[in-house]
Chains A and B, each alone.
Chain A
Amino acid sequence: MLRYIARRVLVMLPTLFLISLASFFIIQLPPGDFLTTYAAGMGAQDAIVAREHLAALEERYGLNQPFHVQYWQWISNIVCCGDFGQSFEWRRPVSSLIWDRLTLTMLLAVVSTLFMWFVAFLIGTYTAVRQYSIGDYFWTFVGFVGLAIPNFLLALVLMYISFRYFGQSVGGLFSPEYQNAPWSIGKLWDLFQHMWIPVIVIATAGAAGTIRIMRANLLDELHRPYTTTARAKGMQEWRLIAKYPVRLALNPFISTVGWTLPTLISGEIIVSVVLDLPTTGPLLLRALRSQDMYLAGSFILMLGVLTLIGTLLSDILLAWLDPRIQYDKVGSR
């Protein structure tokens, strides 16, 4: 096992290098740079930025340097000192910008993933046990509707509904009075009052896929000999289902935990933008749009690294949970 992990980590290194190169390249691919965005912002209010001013800024930010020089400056600082550079737009260190938003991002990711799993688990179990019943069709349908509605649409409509019919303050995760307040019970409660929309939006989008996996896995297990044996022994149906097949069917859930790793810090970008969540997603999108090089590049790099680690983690977990995979290729028990 250890050797397997070591080998995987080793082959990850060149991929990491490529990802860092690609992260930096991607943000430079569109024409122009951050200063173009800056000039465009001024231009949008009919203030024309002087050429000299732009030239001075270009010099200052090192934007006139060739690609490899800029890349080296960036990556060497990351590798040597963990310094991800400064954001042009916010004029603050990249790491502190991301760090500021990380708590809420992770909280939201965890809550919505748990909620999604909970829903998917319930529906998945029900639809597998009652395969081809009206209930099966109905709940599968419900699950799929969530998948089929584009996230941003659902988010905006829910927000309008909450404005129109609940009179709740709109967007964000806090009411204005708690926005800048220190943490307290009141603030926490306020947070939970605001969190239902994003949690629902994010969870409905992911639920359908998970329901599918749960249902398929459970169906597999339900027809295995041990289940039949247990049933023949007169074990209570629901207890029986809960005892073995469900537990086994849960394996994939646990094993895919690794894949949720990047989402912990990415934040659901589009949903977060529409709902104005103070998470990292909108920060990334804004940085990409304004070509805020170090912020966007570092962010992409971090996500890439987390994806790699997450995949590795998933593989390890799965191998560990389900020894069949390693040693026995034709899956019989």
Chain B
Amino acid sequence: MTTTTFTKRWYRVLALIPAAALLAAACSPGTGGDGDDSLPPLEQDDAVAEGQHEAPELAQMVEDGELPPLEERLPTDPLVVDVVDRIGVYGGTWRRAESEVYELEVTERRHIGYERLFNWTPEWEGGSETTPNIATDVEVNDEGTEYTFFLREGIRWSDGEPFTADDIVFAVEDYYFHEDLTADADPRLLVSGGPPEVEAIDDYTVKFTFSRPHGLFLQSVAEWATQKLTAMPRHYMEQFHADYNDDDLDDLVAESSLGSWVDLFVDKSDPMRNPDLPVIYAWKVTQPFGQGTDVVFERNPYYWKVDPEGNQLPYIDQHVVQLVEDSELIKLQAMSGELDFQRTVGGPADRALVMENAEQNDYHVVTMQPDHMNTMAIHLNQTTPDETKREIFRNKDFRIGLSHAINRQEIIDLVFYGQGEPYQMSPSSELFYDEELAKQYTEYDVDLANQYLDDAGYEMDSNGRRIGPDGEPITITMDFANDVNDDWTDALELVQGYWDEVGVRMELNGISRSLHTEIVRENGEHEATVWTGSGGLVPFMQTHWYFPSTQAADFASAWGEWYLNPDNPKAEEPPEGPRRQMELYDEILVTADPDQQVELMRDLLDILKDEFYSIGISSPPEGIGVVTNKMHNVPDQMFNSTSWPTPGPSNTIQYFIEE
């Protein structure tokens, strides 16, 4: 079942493949935001001393003989990164704060180390385009089964060792597909008809061969889950690998007080926790996570990118992330101008306060466009354990009736500050936008709602309650995570009122995020739940709101399980509609032609329109982030996304600090 294990994240390439097209687009990973043309270029002279294209501390180290000169550290052909606004100056500390450990942990992927063979472009147009990064070029055969990457020559790990094709082979063979490590590595995106064969043709050429077409491989390597593909320094990690170290690995394990060599390997390969690990990132950790409340990263003298004037990046010396205990504190710190760039600060309710303090405390606000398609979608679990509830939830008229019963405009006005419009679960990107899919059943009409509910066969009794097939009044228990999104409780309380009007009672059961995971995502025991809608911009990537593709399809968990693995005891075979969607998606996976993939996806979405699994509320309002006025080159607007790991692809390396 290889196809199903790697289906979850897929990327759609519009201008995909011919490699030549990508080649042409190469070398200049465009600019984000609008450049301020009024600034005279003479600033540059202040920025960097004549003839010196590196940070002063590094220049000093070179002088003292502690570091090879810049030319020897940089690749022969370093990647030139466009600046958003102007050429920067060296120095400064970029401060951030996070209140959740999981947010802190992804600092590597998001802030300091978004370094792939190919990266997403800063603009992320339609969520499709990638740009050369570690690789300068790629050749793909016509079937989409062979990918040959040409690596930039002279990239070095932070300890000065060269980065070569061998490191990638090591990552694939000895990490992603090593029998003891593969579960940790999560190789879903690297699979097509089984693991690929990887071959280092020479030091700077690496070839992937798949047994079935993997037309979206270029997008996969820019994706969240493939971070480690370019983060395994073979020369360092071999000593912690059982296949390479027979001598003293046991001693190393014993010394570390960890349980096994796998633990040790995982621990040592963690760039947030191991300061000794060589990286190719702009900054490397000096005070690791777990010691004190801060994590500190310092500039990597071997970083391999330059600005248009040939100055080595990054501009900023140090990146400090503080783990705070309460998210209110992040707001206060941001409002005091203590956080140089914080990607999100609070929700819509905090917006006014954050904006009003900007001038006084010397910061400004940047906007974040969510890649979600909904503020809150209500999922009635069609495979809930209770047979009666199942019957009710599978009744499409019932779902339509409930949808019409919701006063979306009032929810938008009250909970989302008038931002957004009534919206169902429907892709928002231009390519897949379908007015009917987006707007069907969003009209607030109690009479119509009652009519649908009557048609569904659930008559109202004398108390105004609708009676289910078991003769009992219908009550839906809503298990929702109340620590993910502040707005849900309010919005649900309003929905509860609307549904009361049409005779359907909803019990609100606010639970913690982990309990929600346990009940809903792991076991599918819920009757109803809510979530936002990921995959709004790029339907290929997160499909579980479009059809039951994983257990995270909260509207029919057991069908999602079935698609992943029909033998799972929790799995249930879905009916005709969803099954057809699954077939279509399987077809997309092995289709190399991009136009045909779009056609297939549209067919899949047509079935979604007909099935109407989930009840959406509204399109999401923009979020805000905070940038101090001494921090420059941060785009005024960017996507807030997981697959485009905000703010990584906006090139955090060219941000700079100037008082």
Which residue numbers of A lie inside 8 Å of B, CB to CB?
Answer: 30-32, 36-53, 55-57, 60, 83, 86, 89-93, 97, 100, 156, 159-160, 163, 167, 169-172, 176, 179-180, 272-274, 276-278, 282, 285-286, 289-291
Contact = CB atoms under 8 A, between A and B. Distances in A.
Interface in B530-570: 532, 534, 542, 544, 550-552, 564
Nearest to A31: B518
Most chain B beta carbons < 10 A, residue from A49, A52, A277? A52
B515 A30 contact: yes
A50 B542 CA distance: 14
Contacts of A171: 324, 326, 329, 332-333
B238 to A, nearest CB: 21
Contacts of A160: 332
28 contacts: A31-B519, A32-B514, A32-B518, A36-B514, A36-B518, A39-B517, A41-B100, A41-B102, A45-B106, A47-B224, A48-B8, A50-B5, A50-B188, A53-B186, A60-B259, A60-B260, A86-B258, A156-B328, A170-B332, A170-B336, A172-B322, A180-B294, A180-B320, A273-B326, A276-B329, A286-B101, A290-B101, A290-B514
B332 A32 contact: no
A55 B95 CA distance: 36
Nearest to A93: B257
Task: Give chain B's interface residue range (CB within 8 Å of chain A).
Answer: 35 or more
Nearest to A171: B329
A289 B517 CA distance: 14
A46 B542 contact: yes
Contacts of B146: none
Given A89-B101, A97-B290, A276 B514 contact: no
A97 B333 CA distance: 25
B110 to A, nearest CB: 10
B7 to A, nearest CB: 11
Contacts of B544: 48
Contacts of A36: 514-515, 517-518, 522
B263 interface: yes
B183 A52 contact: yes
A276 B521 CA distance: 32
Contacts of B186: 49-50, 52-53
A46 B518 contact: no
B102 A180 contact: no
Contacts of B106: 45
A48 B552 contact: yes
A163 B337 CA distance: 11
Given A55-B183, A180-B287, A41 B188 contact: no
B522 A39 contact: yes
Nearest to A160: B332
A83 B258 CA distance: 12
Contacts of A159: 329, 332
Contacts of A286: 101, 325
A32 B515 contact: yes
A101 B532 CA distance: 38
Contacts of A180: 287, 292, 294, 296, 320
B207 to A, nearest CB: 26
Contacts of A89: 101
B336 A167 contact: yes
A49 B564 CA distance: 13
Contacts of B326: 171, 273-274, 276
Contacts of B518: 31-32, 36
Interface of B: 5, 8, 95, 100-103, 106, 182-184, 186, 188, 224-225, 257-260, 262-263, 267, 270, 273, 287, 289-294, 296, 320, 322, 324-326, 328-329, 332-333, 335-336, 338, 481, 484, 512-519, 521-522, 532, 534, 542, 544, 550-552, 564, 642
Nearest to B322: A179
Contacts of B225: 47
Contacts of A47: 224-225, 642
Contact of B267 (A31, A43, A83, A91): A91
A199 B536 CA distance: 48
Contacts of A272: 325
A40 B352 CA distance: 30
A278 B552 contact: no
A276 B97 CA distance: 12
Given A32-B517, A90-B290, A44 B273 contact: no
Q: Which of A47, A86, A291 has the most CB of B within 10 A?
A: A47
Contact of A44 (B290, B292, B513): B513
B514 A46 contact: no
Contacts of A42: 102
Contacts of A86: 257-258
A176 B332 contact: no
Contacts of B338: 169-170, 176
Given A45-B102, A60-B259, A273 B183 contact: no
A179 B294 contact: yes
Contact of A100 (B101, B184, B257, B292): B292
Contacts of A156: 328
A276 B324 contact: yes
B290 A91 contact: yes
B130 to A, nearest CB: 19
Q: Which 3 A-B pairs have the closest CB atoms?
A: A56-B183, A41-B102, A40-B517
Contacts of A172: 293, 322, 324
B273 A91 contact: yes
Contacts of A273: 325-326
Given A55-B183, A163-B332, A46 B521 contact: no
Nearest to B5: A50
Nearest to A179: B294
A42 B564 CA distance: 19
A272 B333 CA distance: 16
B514 A37 contact: yes
Contacts of B289: 90
Contacts of A176: 95, 320, 338
Nearest to B361: A167
A194 to B, nearest CB: 13
Contacts of A51: 551, 564
Considering residues A83, A172, A274, which has the most beta carbons from chain B within 10 angstroms of its beta carbon?
Answer: A172
A46 B534 contact: yes
Nearest to A42: B102
A52 B8 CA distance: 14
A150 to B, nearest CB: 15
A40 B513 contact: yes
A236 B297 CA distance: 66
Contact of B290 (A38, A45, A92, A278): A92
Contacts of A169: 333, 336, 338
A31 B517 CA distance: 10
A188 B461 CA distance: 71
Given A176-B338, A179-B322, A276-B324, A45 B642 contact: yes
A290 B95 CA distance: 26
Given A43-B521, A179-B293, A274-B328, 17 more contacts: A31-B519, A32-B522, A36-B514, A40-B514, A41-B102, A44-B513, A45-B642, A47-B225, A48-B8, A48-B550, A52-B183, A172-B324, A180-B296, A276-B324, A277-B325, A285-B325, A289-B512
A95 to B, nearest CB: 11
Contacts of B100: 41, 44
Contacts of B296: 180
B565 to A, nearest CB: 8
Contacts of A60: 259-260, 262-263
Contacts of B320: 176, 179-180
B194 to A, nearest CB: 15
Contacts of A291: 514
A123 B618 CA distance: 58
A179 B513 CA distance: 31
A64 to B, nearest CB: 14
A39 B521 contact: yes
B605 to A, nearest CB: 19
Nearest to B188: A50
